Amino acid sequence: MCDNCTNIIGTQEQFDALNAVIAKHKGTRGALIPVLHEAQEVYGYLPMEVQREIAEQLEIPLAEVYGVVSFYAQFSINPKGKYRVNVCMGTACYVKGSNDILDEFKQALGIDVGDCTEDGLFSLDACRCIGACGLAPVVTVNDEVFGKLEAEDVEGIVEKFKALEAEA
């Protein structure tokens, strides 16, 4: 394997996309956060190798890059599932019982908050207020929103995506 190959993170397509993202923002003030954002879209998360590449090319110390990544809840250093479950823990959702919803998801998926199922299908996170308080308690799976939930609804949601996967 050539020297360059060993430094590639993920697939060649992902690596090319990462380089394109960095090239697009390099040289502009405050490039780091948009680069991290778009890099996470490419990889689904921000592993050390991706952060190291960004740090090197933007000439920002890795410690600083990691500091930013670990500060914002939107960034993840762990792989996410194909279906990313986010349970809103904002005030309105919380008082409407989002904690129970979260527990129900933990049970149904057999994972803890921040983790990903072994088959890579689901990941579970608790998030800050997403601004849909009228629908509290609220859960998002990727871009789909589920509102006014009760604990009993959780199983149905999980089944829905499992079925989707079985079809595919």
Positions touching other proteins (CB under 8 A) are 7, 48, 51-52, 56, 61-67, 70-73, 77
* Beta carbon nearer to other proteins, 63 or 166: 63
Alpha-carbon torsion 20, 24, 26, 30, what sign? negative
What's the helix, strand, coil split of the chain in %, to 5?
50, 10, 40
Closest contact distance (angstroms) between CB of 9 and other proteins is: 10
* Beta carbon nearer to other proteins, 121 or 129: 129
- In this structure, the number of other CB atoms found within 10 A of the CB of residue 42 comes to 20
- Main-chain dihedrals φ then ψ at residue 152, nearest 5 degrees: -65, -20
Closest contact distance (angstroms) between CB of 57 and other proteins is: 12
* Beta carbon nearer to other proteins, 73 or 164: 73
Tokens for 120?
Answer: 């890579």
Q: Could you give the maximum distance between any two Cα atoms of the chain, in Å? A: 56
* Beta carbon nearer to other proteins, 11 or 78: 78
